[in-house]
Amino acid sequence: MLQNVKFAFPDVQDSDLHRVLVVDDSLVQRRILTLMLARWGFEVAEAESAERGLDLCDSFQPDFIISDWMMPGMSGVDFCAAFRASPRASYGYFILLTSKSEKAAVTSGLDSGADDFLTKPVNGDELRARINAGARILSMERELKSKNAVIADTLAELQIVHASIDKDLQQARVLQQSLMPRRSVSFGNSQVSVLLRSCGHVGGDLAGMFGIENGDFGLFSLDVSGHGITSAMMTARVAGYLSPDYPDENLALTRTQSGFDFLPPQQVAARLNTRLVGQKGVTEYLTLAYVQINAKTGLARFVQAGHPPPLLLRQTGEAEFLGDGGLPIGLIDDAPYGDRSFQLRPGDRMLLYSDGFTEALLADGSMLEEAGLLELVLTLPRERTGPDFLDALYDALKAKTGGTQDFDDDISAAFLEYGGA
């Protein structure tokens, strides 16, 4: 028997929670419960057995089920277990009617999935209180489900946005790699090779080289503060200032009557500093190591602007770190920069590198530092040259740090092998 009545749920204002299925083999008990529930405004369906109740659950979709415990055939406990095992769009609140009061019986009912119990004969006020308590639970469940749906929709939208951003970042990575179109360039008998490994899609490190018609050349390593897109955009801009393809725009070069010539390294750093400090709203700065080499004489001049000290590897086997720090570029207007000079001989090598090397964390939590970098370099065979040397150095660093995770910072380097005039 199905009662259709206007909903007037007491205490709990949720017009969606109004369907009650009453299951009892006693016609009298069913009618008593149905009359009480109908008087309170519920839409009620009745079933004389648990088997019939299961059938009605599919078509009626009750919010509440009030079922007798002891019935012929399937018991109320078995009915509850079967109800819980059936697929539903929302939760159904299950109340068992019983004359049992033993703890073991109550435990059995709870294990089957029952939410509450009522002892017979049923008291009207107690029934209404239990229904209201269940309605609050169902309301919270539906509210949570609604919020989860909103979260799921928002997550789906975010995934679409993330996929779009990820695609853009992948393209940005390709563009940033294009800033170093050549991994290795020969300048007469000398060779300069570069390495760039970003910790994310894009990074703030850059290394490069450029030369002029008389054979002189320069190489640099720079590291923009921070990580990610902002740093990468700054890196791209600075790459234009030190471009090997557009000497008129290269801040390290000046046009002469016969072509181009190099400016002193300290002047290059000062010109870069002026450009970056003059950019309004830009808080990023960079560190730089830049070396300019006279290909005929082997005289090298360099400037260090807050960058790790270049590592000079003599053909004789001696090694030393050059420089004493200096101020980063883009922090202070009119910051002073100074040149240093040293003499290269055929067979000498030089490594410019970012702090991604020296600040790499080892397995014990300490940093590699300069001594550790020198140790790594000296373990590599002398036969490794050019990009092969840099790749081997990167692999050695990876092994030194455990090799199980990516680095937290960008890693870059420029490697000079001087061959003489």
pLDDT (0 to 100) of residue 219: 97
User: 282 or 50, which is more confident?
Assistant: 50
Read off the pLDDT band of 6 (50, 70, 90): very low
Count of Cβ atoms closer than 10 Å to residue 406 Cβ: 9
Can you tell me the mean pLDDT for 257-281?
A: 91
What are 243-253's pLDDT values in tens digits?
Answer: 998 999 999 99
pLDDT (0 to 100) of residue 121: 87
Residue type, 192: V
Contact 173, 198 (CB under 8 A): yes
Whether residue 420 has pLDDT greater than 70: yes
Tell me, which fold does domain 178-417 have in CATH?
Phosphatase 2c; domain 1 (3.60.40)
Domain residue ranges in the chain: 2-147, 178-417
pLDDT (0 to 100) of residue 67: 94
Q: Whole-angstrom Cα distance, residue 250 to residue 241?
A: 5
The domain at 2-147 falls in which architecture? 3-Layer(aba) Sandwich (3.40)
- Residue 154's φ and ψ, nearest 5 degrees, are -65, -40
What are 30-43's pLDDT values in tens digits?
Answer: 999 999 999 999 99
Q: What percent of the chain has pLDDT over 70?
A: 88
What are 331-360's pLDDT values in tens digits?
Answer: 999 999 999 999 999 999 999 999 999 999
What are 93-147's pLDDT values in tens digits?
Answer: 999 998 766 556 677 778 888 999 888 888 989 999 999 999 998 888 888 888 8
For the whole model, what pTM was predicted? Answer: 0.64
Q: SS3 of 337, please?
A: coil
DSSP H or E run through 70: none
